[in-house]
């Protein structure tokens, strides 16, 4: 598989973390004729990846052997740290000068700390949070926010372009791309929580929620998240596309930065508390629109698009 | 002017309130060859309306003489009450069976109370809140949410169709259209406040805010209001398109309903407090994106798209 690309820099890739996002990104790279090794903690996922034409590896260290670019697609800072420096970690196994492309949503401080570790070991680091969801990951249509040294971006450019519809190059400073991502997550989390609050409010006014959806999506009250998530609420379908606990984490990062830098974020704080209540009520691993079910339980009024009797 | 339409029902119209929305709606009706009488508290506005081909009236009562449809485009319940029953009010002067089309954002209870008064006087009432802004009002491209008796909607249909790109007919119950509008205002207010909070947060992280605008408007954190209002913040331009105090009022209606019906609205409450702080800080009559200037004052960090030194 690697024959036609041998010797071309940036064509040998390791993807660490084959979850809903990582699997799609690795599949896209395979489709685009990159030589892709993958690692995941789940043996089933790894077996599937091998069947799909990838090279399965037993550890991050094994996956990165020979790779020019290491794409790390895990959930948070703890997992990113484990990928680098945990048992079987890849930091000491990476090729000298290889690029570690970090896709988890991290705080800018966490991103900078990882970059220091990676660079101290003789490699290059790109701050590269992603957005767009599993479907766009599988289609190679992600949005990727990137910051880091221009030469490092160039080394990784073929990989970035294969995985993304849009790559925003946000400067040389590692941490800046993470800061942009966190601003997006602040808004995304607030918009989901507000959408659920508004739907619960509308339900309590006895309005037809499918009609509310139609009116709002054509009005000034619309948001990307309202339009995308409220169909889950209307259909009473809370299987997780993205989980409540992701926003407990991401709005938690917002709250940490806000406290550290003394920037009040009253709306994001109210949204964080709603995700936290939803998680505390047992729905942490359900779809993030489950905030609507929290209101349902509190108010005792169904929040759904089903016809009411 | 009324010659060609004489005798056609729904062609003789009074527009009460010639502010940024009402003026545009009255102009649209003139353009569409309706016979339009207008009233406004400002003599200058009234003189301009007469120059533009309308019939200026000295009071709501004078304006509604002979009109099939009375379009009331004022700011709130107090003004709507004054138009109906204040000095020179139109309630006793309307033609028997004429339609009072109420466009102010009201609580559903207020809308129902006005409907009772109008119907008791022998006329018909339509709950008809509008959205879309001054430019769309002038172009005849508003969104109008309507509830009320089907026969009343039919009487007013030519007027509604002339003024609106989209008319949502939301059932026979007066109050329901107002409830839909209030759900929209809940979201719109939250989204403006959250957008300002996010921009202030981004500014404190020293990010290029024009770049933030570009990234967010292409990401899942986008909202109609973020896209529409944040250019005011980037340009540091707070001349009012829509004022802070409008959201103090509209989120106040949300808060009143929420308390009365026992429906918690934690995010809308946080947003209301931000608009209230902005108003208390002297910016109540400035553009509603002024919440960004509140954060600017609090944080001591400019929130603007100008190049920083």
Q: What is the pLDDT of residues B56-66, one digit of tens each?
A: 999 999 999 99
Question: Which of A168, A188, A198, A278 is the best mutation test for B, with the most CBs of B within 10 A?
Answer: A198
Query: Candidates 3.40.50.720, 3.20.20.60, 3.40.50.2300, 3.80.10.10; correct CATH number of B3-173?
Result: 3.40.50.720
ipTM for the predicted complex comes to 0.94
Task: Using an 8 Å CB-CB cutoff, list chain A residues near B272.
Answer: none
Distance from C-alpha of A173 to C-alpha of A108, rounded to nearest angstrom: 10
Task: Using an 8 Å CB-CB cutoff, list chain B residues near A145.
Answer: 215
By Cβ distance, the residue of B176, B188, B200 closest to A220 is B188
Flag if B261 and A204 touch (Cβ within 8 Å): yes
pLDDT at B2 over 90: no
pLDDT at B230 over 80: yes
The domains of chain B are located at 3-173, 178-299
Can you give the pTM of this predicted structure? Answer: 0.94
Question: Which of A194, A204, A212 is the best mutation test for B, with the most CBs of B within 10 A?
Answer: A194
- What's the Cα-to-Cα distance from B190 to each of A126, B66, B194, B196, B198, rounded to whole Å? 34, 42, 6, 10, 12
Flag if A215 and B168 touch (Cβ within 8 Å): yes
pLDDT of residue B255: 98
Name the maximum alpha-carbon separation found in chain B.
68
pLDDT of residue A9: 63
pLDDT of residue B309: 43
Distance from C-alpha of A236 to C-alpha of A290, rounded to nearest angstrom: 9
Distance from C-alpha of A78 to C-alpha of A255, rounded to nearest angstrom: 18
Query: Which of B181, B249, B260, B308 is the catalytic position?
Result: B181
Q: Which parts of chain A sit beneath pLDDT 70?
A: 1-10, 307-309
**What is the distance in angstroms between the Cα of A180 and the nearest Cα belonging to chain B?**
7
- The residue of chain B nearest to residue A259, with distances taken between CA atoms, is B201
**Architecture of the CATH domain B178-299:** Orthogonal Bundle (1.10)
Query: Which of A12, A33, A181, A308 is the catalytic position?
Result: A181
Query: Is B239 designated active site?
Result: no
Q: Report the length, in residues, of chain B.
A: 309
pLDDT at B19 over 50: yes
Flag if B195 and A187 touch (Cβ within 8 Å): yes
In this structure, which topology does domain A179-299 adopt according to CATH?
Answer: 1.10.1040
- The residue of chain A nearest to residue B204, with distances taken between CA atoms, is A263
pLDDT of residue B221: 96
pLDDT of residue A1: 39
By Cβ distance, the residue of A132, A176, A219 closest to B143 is A219
Flag if B267 and A197 touch (Cβ within 8 Å): yes
pLDDT of residue A189: 98
Structure confidence at residue B4 as a pLDDT band (50, 70, 90): very low
By Cβ distance, the residue of B184, B263, B271 closest to A221 is B184
pLDDT of residue B307: 59
Distance from C-alpha of B88 to C-alpha of B60, rounded to nearest angstrom: 6
pLDDT at B103 over 90: yes
pLDDT at B157 over 50: yes
pLDDT of residue A52: 95
By Cβ distance, the residue of B176, B220, B224 closest to A188 is B220
From its phi and psi, is residue B97 left (phi > 0), alpha (psi between -120 and 50) or beta?
Answer: left
Task: Using an 8 Å CB-CB cutoff, list chain A residues near B266.
Answer: 197, 270, 273-274
Per-residue pLDDT of A159-209, as tens digits, reads 999 999 999 999 999 999 999 999 999 999 999 999 999 999 999 999 999
pLDDT of residue A309: 43
Helices vs strands, H then E, count in chain B: 13, 9
Q: In chain B, what percentage of residues exceed pLDDT 70?
A: 96
The answer to whether the CB of A194 falls within 8 A of the CB of B187 is yes
Task: Tell the burial category of B262 from Cβ atoms under 10 Å away from its Cβ (0-12, 13-18, 19+).
Answer: exposed
Structure confidence at residue B276 as a pLDDT band (50, 70, 90): very high
């Amino acid at each position: 598989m690697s024959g036609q690309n041998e010797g071309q820099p940036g064509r040998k890739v390791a993807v660490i973390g084959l979850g809903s996002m990582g699997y799609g990104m690795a599949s896209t790279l395979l489709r685009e004729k990159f030589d892709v090794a993958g690692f995941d903690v789940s043996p089933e996922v790894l077996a599937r990846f091998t069947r799909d034409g990838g090279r399965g590896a037993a550890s991050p260290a094994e996956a990165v052997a020979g790779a020019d670019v290491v794409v790390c697609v895990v959930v948070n800072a703890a997992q990113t740290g484990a990928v680098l420096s945990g048992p079987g970690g890849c930091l000491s196994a990476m090729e000298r000068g290889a690029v570690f492309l970090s896709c988890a949503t991290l705080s800018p401080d966490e991103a900078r700390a990882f970059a220091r570790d990676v660079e101290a070991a003789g490699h290059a680091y790109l701050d590269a949070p992603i957005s767009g969801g599993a479907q766009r990951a599988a289609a190679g249509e992600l949005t990727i926010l990137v910051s880091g040294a221009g030469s490092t971006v160039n080394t990784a450019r073929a990989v970035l372009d294969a995985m993304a519809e849009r790559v925003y190059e946000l400067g040389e400073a590692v941490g800046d791309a993470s800061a942009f991502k966190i601003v997006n997550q602040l808004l995304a989390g607030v918009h989901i929580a507000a959408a659920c609050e508004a739907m619960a409010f509308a339900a309590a006014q006895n309005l037809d929620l499918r009609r509310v959806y139609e009116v709002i999506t054509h009005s000034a009250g619309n948001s990307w998240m309202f339009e995308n998530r409220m169909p889950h609420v209307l259909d009473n379908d809370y299987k997780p596309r993205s989980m409540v606990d992701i926003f407990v984490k991401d709005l938690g990062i917002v709250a940490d930065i806000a406290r550290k830098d003394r920037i009040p974020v009253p709306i994001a704080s109210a949204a964080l508390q709603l995700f936290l209540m939803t998680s505390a009520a047992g729905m942490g691993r359900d779809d993030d629109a489950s905030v609507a079910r929290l209101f349902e339980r509190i108010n005792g009024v169904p929040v759904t698009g089903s016809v009411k009797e």
